Amino acid sequence: MLIIAEIGTSHEGSKEKAFRLIDAAAENGADAIKFQWVYADEILHPLTGFVDLPTGRIPLYERFRQLECDKAFYKELLDYTHSKGCRFCCSPFGLKSLKELLEIEPDIVKIASPELNHYKMLEALRDYRTDQKAAGKSPVPVIISSGVSKLCDIERAFELLGTEGVSFLHCVTSYPAPEADYKLGVMASLGKIFGVEYGVSDHSLDPMLVPSLSAALGGSIIEKHFTLSKKTSGLDDPVALEPEQFALMVHAVHQTQALMKRYGREHGLEEVIKQFSENFSKAQLEAMLFDCKKELAPSETSNYGRTNRSLHFMRDMKKGEKIGQGDIAILRTEKVLTPGINPMFYDMMIGAELACDAKNGEGLQFSHVIKK
């Protein structure tokens, strides 16, 4: 079992706070500690909208700018994580952050759910792993998360990355995500179909339910957001586990593993359902365990096309202009902008002539380049 404490950007750029988070995660049962390598312009358009913080309302783009740190910062976090006996895991969000992350040689590269269709980044990671293998090295392990995705998105990611050394996490991209939205039968089914290790990235508030049910179905990776306090101002702190809760989750997961080993699959699952039936209905538990149909969860349906990547204009453009490399970008849509077409069409759009005017930040549509 690999238990990942997702610190993300909860350190808020402070090395001292990051070290305290690493200490607490290691002390409370984490096997790996995960961070996010943020450059705002790899994630969002500056006009994407606003976020409400305890300190006031600011542009979401500026909030991400505040979280940017240099390569030396992450190298220190990697070294300190190793000194605590844990593996260093990190999510890049574009070609620059991926390149710099690979330069410090992480133990694991995590592809977050919204980047599952960032095909340019996946292609660069694939090429790096291919070069490693050609040089006689073991390719860096990769974990992909599948929140706010359809089956075709997951299949496309595996087509690009392959399955060797690649693991799969079932996820629901909602903060917080209702426990009932986690159909963990999908996790086990897809893990077996693709022939990869599988597990769950859990954004629900209950510290034990989803991780325990995942372990009962053979999940070997648990990822959960981690914070020193839910009351601090990290973007994900409200849905993260505090140290005592994280330790409780780790204990529950290991208990579930022992229970499954003792009773076997059929009777073990019955025992797991019995353990949680006081707080959750048997019908809900059975649906979470045995529903194997991959579809967007109710809580994340409205996020599809907005949280994951699409093509956006980076400046105002006039009819008749040709689209150049810097004129469009692969970004999350998020708050107020209109989603664009799938990033798989990026290369096709370079050099295309506009059939109408386009606004800065607008999602690129086929109608922008198809003459009527």
Least confident of 27-31, 55-59, 74-78, 201-205: 55-59
Looking at residue 126, the DSSP 8-state letter turns out to be: H
Q: What CATH code is carried by the domain that includes residue 119?
A: 3.20.20.70
Confidence of residue 53 (pLDDT cuts 50, 70, 90): low
Residue 76 inside a domain? The answer is yes
Range of the domain at 34: 2-290
Average pLDDT over residues 278-284: 94
317 and 258 together in one domain: no
Residue 192 inside a domain? The answer is yes
127 and 253 together in one domain: yes
Residue 6 inside a domain? The answer is yes
76 and 132 together in one domain: yes
* Domain end (from 258, 290, 322): 290
124 and 197 together in one domain: yes
pLDDT at residue 57, as a whole number: 84
pLDDT at residue 311, as a whole number: 98
* Domain end (from 229, 258, 290): 290
The pLDDT of residue 335 is above 80:
yes
pLDDT in tens, 167-213: 999 999 999 999 999 999 999 999 999 999 999 999 999 999 999 99
The pLDDT of residue 214 is above 80:
yes
146 and 246 together in one domain: yes
d(CA 167, CA 188): 12
d(CA 222, CA 298): 22
191 and 324 together in one domain: no
pLDDT at residue 236, as a whole number: 86
The pLDDT of residue 77 is above 70:
yes
What is the count of structural domains for the chain?
2
In percent, how much of the chain has pLDDT > 90? 93
22 and 133 together in one domain: yes
Residue 190 inside a domain? The answer is yes
Nearest to 234 by CA among 5, 4, 6, 11: 11
Q: What CATH code is carried by the domain that includes residue 357?
A: 3.90.1210.10
- Give the predicted TM-score (pTM) of the model: 0.96
pLDDT at residue 372, as a whole number: 61
CA 296 from centroid of its chain's CA atoms:
15
171 and 259 together in one domain: yes
- 51: exposed, middle or buried (Cβ count in 10 Å: 0-12, 13-18, 19+): middle
218-257 per-residue burial string, b: 16 or more CB within 10 A, e: under 16: bbebbbbbbbbeeeeebbbbebbbbbebbbbbbebbeebb
Residue 298 inside a domain? The answer is no
8 and 59 together in one domain: yes
39 and 184 together in one domain: yes
Residue 316 inside a domain? The answer is yes
